[in-house]
Structure 1
Amino acid sequence: MEMREIKGWHVFAGFAAAFAIIISVNLVLAVSAIRTFPGLEVKNSYVASQTFDERRAAQDALGWDVAARHQGGVLTLAIRDREGRVIEVDALEATVGRATHVYADVTPDFRMTESGYVAPVELGDGNWNIRMTARAPDGTPFARRVVLIKE
């Protein structure tokens, strides 16, 4: 069997092909990341940070805990006080969506029951984020991101 000599253009072609693959994969991943990025949480993080401690202290003073579950096509969002009682808020808004994109986001129409706020929502398996805002009876704004893992 005769050994063929590796010439300069063979080496160049090998390097060019390897870098072309690396650059192509990077471009595909970058485009995919930008296309599925859900967006900014706040318009100006510096301005939002100036009142963060006060807003957190006001929310902590409420002593609320939020839990979510999804069963049989119904999403339940329970807001409880320090004693574990389900509480009713003055206003509640929530968006349910994936952590990685916004095209599956839904805004449930919650109604209050004895077990918490419920809404019919069809969710697939996996990780879901519930981005909620509420207003306490005393006017204190309350915001949470609740992670719901549906199996």
Structure 2
Amino acid sequence: MTAPAKPLTGRKVFAIFAAGFSIIIAVNLTLAVNAVRTFPGLEVENSYVASQVFDSRRDAQEALGWQIDAAYADGALRIDMTDRVGNPVAPGDLTVRVGRPTMEAQDLDGRAALGRALPLDLAPGRWRVDVAATAPDGTPVEKRILLWVRS
């Protein structure tokens, strides 16, 4: 003989709904906290002011005709900069920032020498390389490169 089924009461229905909504709320709170914790923040203090000089800075950078490339292999990052005809260029100042596209927790700053390997231990996945340099004529040059590091 089987035991008689227990009746479904209002308390049981309330407990099921409360448990379901509690799970949904807990998941939403966890996702919201992680999103806020890993968000790197603003790109610029005032986007309107930054937009006023964006076109002129971009045009000046494009007029140089520089090509900036980044490659990661064998535990080292290599930055190459060339002019329109493929000759290497030597900017007055070169800084490199390497990090994840979505968070600043793993960002690495450093100075790199063109054409030389910068030793880095990058975990597999997507990485962002921000290159900033100054041309001999004083033109600021910036480039954001996305790299995929394979395991």
Q: Secondary structure at the match of 1:33?
A: helix
Structure 2: gaps (5+ residues): none
Shift of 1:55: 1.2
Q: Which residue does the alignment assign to 1:70?
A: 72
Q: Which residue does the alignment assign to 2:137?
A: 138
Distance between the aligned counterparts of 2:66 and 2:8, measured in 1?
Answer: 71
> How many positions carry a matched residue from both structures?
148
Q: Deviations over 1:97-150 (max 9, x none)?
A: 1112222211233123xxx25322221211111112111111111111111111
**Equivalent residues in 2 for 1:83-102, closer than 5 Å:** 83-102=85-104
Shift of 1:26: 0.6
**Equivalent residues in 2 for 1:30-109, closer than 5 Å:** 30-109=32-111
Amino acid at match of 2:121: E
Would the aligned equivalents of 1:130 and 1:146 in 2 still touch at CA under 8 Å? yes
Amino acid at match of 2:135: A
Distance between the aligned counterparts of 2:13 and 2:52, measured in 1?
Answer: 57
Shift of 1:73: 2.0
Distance between the aligned counterparts of 2:146 and 2:59, measured in 1?
Answer: 22
- Summarize the Cα distance change of 1:117–1:63 in structure 2 as closer, same or farther, 3 Å threshold: farther
Q: Secondary structure at the match of 2:97?
A: strand
Distance between the aligned counterparts of 1:65 and 1:95, measured in 2?
Answer: 18
Distance between the aligned counterparts of 1:117 and 1:67, measured in 2?
Answer: 13
Identity of aligned residues (%): 47
Amino acid at match of 1:120: P
Would the aligned equivalents of 1:108 and 1:120 in 2 still touch at CA under 8 Å? no
Distance between the aligned counterparts of 2:116 and 2:144, measured in 1?
Answer: 16
Q: Secondary structure at the match of 2:11?
A: helix
Distance between the aligned counterparts of 1:39 and 1:61, measured in 2?
Answer: 31
Structure 1: gaps (5+ residues): none
Would the aligned equivalents of 1:108 and 1:121 in 2 still touch at CA under 8 Å? no
Q: Secondary structure at the match of 2:16?
A: helix
Distance between the aligned counterparts of 1:81 and 1:148, measured in 2?
Answer: 22
Q: Which residue does the alignment assign to 1:129?
A: 128
Q: Deviations over 1:20-75 (max 9, x none)?
A: 10010011111111111122211111211121111111111111121111122221
Q: Which residue does the alignment assign to 1:14?
A: 16
* More displaced stretch, 50-59 vs 1-10: 1-10
Would the aligned equivalents of 2:94 and 2:111 in 1 still touch at CA under 8 Å? no
- What value does the CA root-mean-square deviation take over the aligned residues? 1.5
Q: Secondary structure at the match of 1:56?
A: helix
